[in-house]
Amino acid sequence: MKLTDVQLRDIQALQQVSEHEETISLKLNWDMLTTSVKNDDSMHQVVYKDDMLIAFLGVYWFGQKVELCGMVHPAFRGRGIFSELLNITIGSCQERNATTILLNAPAKSTSAKLFLSKQSFDYNFSEYQMMWTPTNLTISNQVSLRKADDFDLPLETQLDVVCFHYTYEDATKYNISVAADQTSNRYIIEFNETAVGKLRTQRLNGETWIYGISVLPEYQRKGVGRSALSSIIWQEASLGNDLFLEVATKNIRALKLYEECGFKIVETQDYYLFKKGE
């Protein structure tokens, strides 16, 4: 369903209540939620009782892969509300030929672990959410950033295929949707004036989230990613924003780079894979 501005405020309020209940941080992909205000094709689910939002399930498409994340007000848990939302959404995703369905939850959430132990999901992988703390940065004069344009879509698609293992079809669909999003900023990384990589930022409520840092394999291990990241850190920190990014826990190279650039782990998100046919 298409979200309204009122619903977005209600989701934010419910998120605050839910996070306070277990001292956790939910990954609700606000960059995509705000985009869905203008998107009639979104599949997010909301449940109200007496004009109060009591449950929400976010549905986020990356090509034909879909990620889910949601919450129920603490006073309304244990009533099967989220199970019903989840079953409806999984059915809709399968009708749209989703190839992979993942549900993410904070690693520290005991309620999520209890819920998922009774569902058709298996643990798949984890991801760190990291926050920047001031540190000295080095920026190479061989590396620069420029705003991306439509003619950069083939490179952006190629980077998702070779660096993030998307299928070409999924990468194409995803990058077209990202390019249409007016709330985020896409950048191309250039090395000696040659386009070799990309990254994206989203500003919201005094925070900047950095996404999709990637460099073509033949230009990796040359300090290109480090310098590009340092440049965007300098740009966004100068605005007074807190900076965040995400990285898979098994991506040791990227994790080491981010730590060396001043990022520290603040939260771990677990991802669970839906078991088809169950």
49: CATH: 3.40.630.30
Give the number of other CB atoms < 10 A from CB of residue 230. Answer: 20
**44 and 87 both lie in a single domain:** yes
Residue 97 pLDDT > 80:
yes
- Please check whether residue 227 lies inside any domain of the structure: yes
What's the pLDDT tens digit per position in 15-66? Answer: 999 999 999 999 999 888 877 655 546 799 999 999 999 999 999 998 889 9
How many domains does the chain contain in total? 2
Residues 23 and 52 in one domain: yes
User: CA triplet 269, 38, 31: central angle to 5 degrees?
Assistant: 25
CA 123 from centre of chain: 18
Does residue 268 belong to any structural domain of this protein? no
Position 86, amino acid: L
Q: Are 253 and 118 in contact (CB under 8 A)?
A: no
Identify whether 223 is part of a domain.
yes
Same domain flag for 120 and 156: no
Q: Is the pTM of this model over 0.85?
A: yes
Residues 106, 210, single domain; the answer is: no
Would you say residue 69 lies in a domain?
Answer: yes
> Does residue 141 share a domain with residue 52?
no
DSSP for 196-233, written as a single string: EEEEEEEEETTEEEEEEEEE-GGGTTSSHHHHHHHHHH
Last residue of a domain, one of 90, 106, 127: 127
Its domain, for residue 49, covers 5-127
CA–CA separation, 69 and 86 (whole Å): 10
